[in-house]
Amino acid sequence: MKILITTDLYTTATNGVVTSVRNLREELKLRGHDVRILTLSDHMDSRQEEGVYYIGSVSLEHVYPNVRMPMNYRHYLIEELIGWKPDVIHSQCEFFSFQFALRIAKHTDAPIIHTYHTLYEQYVPYVLPGKRLGEHLVRVLSRKRLETVSRVIVPSYKVENALHGYGMYNTICVVPSGISLEQHRKRITPEQRLEKRRSLGIVDDRIVLLNLGRLGTEKNVEELMRYFSAAAQRREDLMFLLVGDGPSRLSLEKMAETLGVADRVIFTGMVKPEEVHEYYQLGDVFVSASTSETQGLTYVEAAANGLPLLCKRDLCLKDVLIPGENGYEFTDEAEFLDGLERLADDPEARFSAGRRSEEIAGAFDKSSFAETMEAIYQSVLADQ
């Protein structure tokens, strides 16, 4: 098949969408398909490199980080892709590149399959002052935007439920985004782990709670900080390691000082992608209070690195966190503290939960993801 993937994000950021697109392209090519990417350039010049078509764009950084807008919807590179005549168009973003998908589909009769990655209600406060108005607009515009696509792909049942709540009646398929587990199956040695922990100021034999990801309001790290403060009053052997950066970092640092735990909270800032697995393995328990995730690839990555999970209850955790097997869910401080005590008090339980996490993560390998998507493409073509 000739498969065109359209996405606003490919080189301008590293996030779940970019990871999903890259993994899908790689695996589909291994399965013998001709796969091309149509995306926005990270500057004003357009180009084509190794099957990736970059359309010149301008920054909308003042609206949201890494957002860019194309300068031209009728570029010669678009005409080149129309001439290529893809069998299937798989769009990954609802905004600018979706317009490319619509135009190419109109001229080639290729069906559009769309993956809905993001629940935008969580991000409304960044761009609109009125929360209720913003949520209403998200629902109406999402429904209207996708009314003509042949299939909607969602990464979790949580997103499927949300889209049904929007009044969307497209055929929806739940397909967890695959991740490359190769990196996350690599293990650092006990000596390397001890040395790296010491370099960050982690005292030996401390139990380290780890959160990895963007430090933004939607990630609800403030709740984790409060719960950690309560846990730290009970136990002196706890430390909190925050890997990543974002607009909430400064307020979180001040919050740690106000709560009196600044000496037990460590902010690493951004880390190199090739070193992410090493940082996961510095932790003893992965913690999250976010409810903004559509699938939560960081949960899968943490599990693949052998960490037990202690996360706020959310539908996106279905099939990733099995309470009592590879960790615990919580809805309030008491449940957080209870789950933490169970894991902190019993090293063997932590080890067993970590091994179970590794087993569970195996189901999210990118090869299974590509196989499922290939079957959906074939089904859509068969229905035409």
For residues 306-320, average pLDDT: 94
pLDDT band at 275 (very low <50, low <70, confident <90, very high): very high
In whole angstroms, give the CA distance from residue 158 to residue 293.
9
| Nearest alpha-carbon partner for 181 in 360, 382, 375 | 360
In whole angstroms, give the CA distance from residue 138 to residue 263.
41
Q: What integer pLDDT is reported at residue 207 of this predicted model?
A: 98
pLDDT greater than 70 at residue 330: yes
Q: What integer pLDDT is reported at residue 123 of this predicted model?
A: 57
Q: At the fourth CATH level, which superfamily is domain 183-363?
A: Glycogen Phosphorylase B; (3.40.50.2000)
Summary mean pLDDT of the chain: 91
Q: Please give the helix or strand (H or E) that residue 114 lies within, else none.
A: strand 112-115
| Nearest alpha-carbon partner for 143 in 117, 161, 170 | 170
Residues 40 and 73 sit within 8 Å (Cβ to Cβ): no
Q: What integer pLDDT is reported at residue 118 of this predicted model?
A: 80
Beta bridge partners of 53: 38, 48
pLDDT band at 19 (very low <50, low <70, confident <90, very high): confident
Render pLDDT for 51-62 as a digit per residue (tens, 0 to 9). Answer: 999 999 888 876
Q: Which residue has the higher pLDDT, 292 or 244?
A: 244
In whole angstroms, give the CA distance from residue 360 to residue 179.
13
Q: What integer pLDDT is reported at residue 169 of this predicted model?
A: 85
Lowest-confidence pick of 31-40, 121-130, 277-286: 121-130
Query: Coil, helix or strand for 168?
Result: coil
Residues 102 and 154 sit within 8 Å (Cβ to Cβ): no
pLDDT greater than 80 at residue 370: yes
pLDDT greater than 90 at residue 363: no
For residues 94-99, average pLDDT: 91
Q: What integer pLDDT is reported at residue 143 of this predicted model?
A: 87
pLDDT greater than 70 at residue 65: no
Q: What integer pLDDT is reported at residue 116 of this predicted model?
A: 93
3 burial type by CB count under 10 A (0-12 exposed, 13-18 middle, 19+ buried): buried
Lowest-confidence pick of 78-87, 134-143, 316-325: 134-143
Kindly report the three-state secondary structure assignment for every residue of 231-286.
HHHHCCCEEEEEEECCCCHHHHHHHHHHCCCHHHEEEEECCCHHHHHHHHCCCCEE
> Token digits for 175?
């397909």
In the chain, % helix, strand, coil (3-state, to 5) comes to 45, 20, 35
Query: Coil, helix or strand for 201?
Result: coil
Residues 112 and 89 sit within 8 Å (Cβ to Cβ): yes
In whole angstroms, give the CA distance from residue 261 to residue 231.
11
74 burial type by CB count under 10 A (0-12 exposed, 13-18 middle, 19+ buried): exposed
In whole angstroms, give the CA distance from residue 320 to residue 309.
9
Query: Coil, helix or strand for 85?
Result: coil
Amino acid 331 reads T
For residues 38-48, average pLDDT: 91
pLDDT band at 261 (very low <50, low <70, confident <90, very high): very high
In whole angstroms, give the CA distance from residue 54 to residue 73.
12
User: What is the CATH code of the structural domain delimited by 2-178+365-383?
Assistant: 3.40.50.2000
pLDDT greater than 80 at residue 187: yes
Render pLDDT for 134-148 as a digit per residue (tens, 0 to 9). Answer: 677 777 888 888 888
> Token digits for 189?
């040695």
Please identify which residue in the block is written with the tokens 């919807």.
Answer: 73
Supply the DSSP symbol for 189.
Answer: -
pLDDT greater than 60 at residue 8: yes
Render pLDDT for 195-222 as a digit per residue (tens, 0 to 9). Answer: 999 999 999 999 999 999 999 998 999 9
Query: Coil, helix or strand for 206?
Result: coil
Render pLDDT for 228-255 as a digit per residue (tens, 0 to 9). Answer: 999 999 999 999 999 999 999 999 999 9
> Token digits for 237?
């052997």
| Nearest alpha-carbon partner for 374 in 62, 87, 130, 157 | 87
Q: Which residue has the higher pLDDT, 218 or 370?
A: 370
The torsion defined by the Cα of 208, 212, 217 and 222, in degrees rounded to 10, comes to: 0
Render pLDDT for 114-173 as a digit per residue (tens, 0 to 9). Answer: 999 887 666 555 555 556 766 777 778 888 888 889 999 998 888 999 899 888 888 999
Please identify which residue in the block is written with the tokens 């600044």.
Answer: 262
Domain ranges of the chain: 2-178+365-383, 183-363
List CB contacts of 211: < 8 A, sequence separation 6 or more: 221, 224, 240, 241, 242, 243, 244, 286, 287, 288
| Equal CATH topology for 2-178+365-383 and 183-363 | yes
| Nearest alpha-carbon partner for 243 in 287, 309, 194, 293 | 287
pLDDT band at 227 (very low <50, low <70, confident <90, very high): very high
